[in-house]
Amino acid sequence: MEPTSPLPTDNSPSLAYALQHTFGRIQHSSGSFLEYLAMYLKLIKDKVHRMTIDPPIDTRVETVGLDAAGLVALADIGTVQERTVLAGTSSFLDIFVLVPGLHLQQKAPSLNAGEHPACGALTTGYVFRVENPATVFYLQRVGRTGHLTHVEVEKVAKPTTWYGTLFSILLPGQEMSLLPITAYLLAVSWGIGVFILLALTGDWWGLTMCGSLMAARFINYVIIRERSHPGWAGADEGNTEGDLLILLSQDRWVRMKGLVNDLKAVTSGQWLRRERPIESWFTAIATVSVYLVAALAGNVEQFGKILLLCLFIGSAGLLAIANTCTQQLHMHGCVLNVVGEPKKYVRRRDLTDELIAESGRNDWAIGMGMITAPTQNNESFRGGAAVVT
């Protein structure tokens, strides 16, 4: 049996091997760390590069045929016209309310359907017509068949503070009830929000379409403001109180009370004056721009088309809610309010007899054809001078 060799007393070879092995592992670990670090930095660089090129919002949606989405803007609905009538003018914030039919705003005076009802003054006996189409539309709206509706006319106090003046500029003629003003401001916010989203997505076609609609709204806003300045309303009557009976179509009767000057401001003269040539040119430009939006909407990205479609439908719904909940009419510095509940009559003659007894005269009823006038011998009756509506 061979003798076992003794353990080496010199540890230098083992120490060298251990050091070599340790340095090798450190070098390998350092290489792996540097590789991981380089890979991580590359990922960060790619992420930053994508953020500078791609929009911050993912606009990938399923393919849906929305090339004709712009045609919704041409829908012939009267929400914009009705809002213009109820406010008596146009406000600056209307620029951001983008609804179908916005190019028809200048046709707001046609909402009365051509009706100019007969009107009799219970205090003086004079008979005339209501010439203001906006007032006629409001009376058609609040009147009920076979009922007498009471309406009061009051002067709107001018703002005395800076914030009141600012509010009158941004929101002239707006009813301050909670629901109408909330719905209107939501419609404004909806338009601004969609404009911002289109900018964030980098959809420049969509942004151009939205901006074109806002430009059309701005043109109409300026022209409506210029056309709605108070014009001729007759001579000043001082603080004389007036009382009018108005006979609308479909047997709707309205009794309107207030100062004679205020009554004349909302019933006589004109609401919107005739357009000047330059105003009609700009109106045509605004109208054509809306049609161009409908024609070029196919160039908008798919997500932008969805945004525009939601904008049109949502804004129209909110503005319709605001119009429905508005119970007042602002006109030439005056406001019209319905007072109490409409009173029902079985016969129109019952209404006539009641008002004759209250006013103490019947000449207005004869002039409106509600009763007949007696002849000189009081043996027969002749027809009154009826005013046909």
CB-CB contact of 143 with 248 (8 Å)? yes
Beta-strand ranges (E) seen in the chain are: 118-121, 127-129, 147-155, 241-248, 252-259, 329-331, 334-344, 373-374, 381-382
Q: How far apart are CA 267 and CA 233, in angstroms?
A: 8
Tens digits of pLDDT across the chain (389 residues): 445 444 444 444 555 555 565 556 555 555 565 666 667 666 666 665 555 555 555 555 555 556 666 677 888 888 999 999 999 999 999 999 999 999 999 999 999 988 999 999 999 999 999 999 999 999 999 999 999 999 999 988 777 777 777 777 777 766 667 888 999 999 999 999 999 999 998 889 989 999 999 999 999 999 999 998 888 877 788 888 999 999 999 999 999 999 999 999 999 888 999 999 999 999 999 999 999 998 888 888 888 888 999 999 999 999 999 999 999 999 988 999 999 999 999 999 999 999 999 999 999 999 998 988 776 555 444 444 444 44
E strand or H helix at 350? helix 348-359
The count of residues in the chain is 389
CB-CB contact of 129 with 151 (8 Å)? no
Q: How far apart are CA 67 and CA 307, in angstroms?
A: 13
CB-CB contact of 108 with 84 (8 Å)? yes
Q: Two tokens at 231?
A: 């014009």
Neighbouring C-alpha atoms within 13 Å toward the C-beta of 247: 21
Q: How far apart are CA 19 and CA 45, in angstroms?
A: 38
Q: pTM above 0.85?
A: no
Q: How far apart are CA 246 and CA 205, in angstroms?
A: 52
Handedness of CA 369, 337, 335, 85 (dihedral sign): negative
Burial class (CB in 10 A: 0-12, 13-18, 19+), 13: exposed
Residues 6+ apart with CB under 8 A from 344: 146, 147
The radius of gyration of the chain's CA atoms, rounded to the nearest angstrom, is 37
